[in-house]
């Protein structure tokens, strides 16, 4: 990835090598990351990714929109 890249993961935490991601973010290999998932979930309170200023974390709610909820209910019914 380019140094100005922002990695976004909304799929599964295991898709990303989090240790490699932490190193890449710390060393400026990529600019930032936005993560809605992690491995494990939730992350331990002392996980280094939680200390990085160039990371945005959400608690696995990225898909929790009104439209998505409606569509999931429709499929379930």
Tell me the catalytic residues.
12, 41, 60
Q: Where are the beta strands (DSSP E) in the chain?
A: 6-9, 32-35, 55-57
For the record, the structure tokens of 10 come out as 């909304």
Q: Could you give the C-alpha distances from 12 to 17, 18, 41, 73, in angstroms and in order?
A: 11, 12, 10, 22
């Amino acid at each position: 990835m380019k140094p100005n890249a922002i990695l976004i993961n909304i799929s599964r935490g295991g898709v990303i090598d989090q240790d490699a991601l932490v190193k890449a973010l710390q060393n400026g290999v990529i600019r930032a990351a936005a993560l809605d998932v992690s491995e494990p979930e939730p992350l331990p309170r002392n996980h280094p990714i939680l200390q990085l200023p160039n990371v945005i974390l959400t608690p696995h709610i990225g898909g929790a929109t009104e439209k998505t909820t409606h569509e999931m209910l429709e499929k379930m019914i």
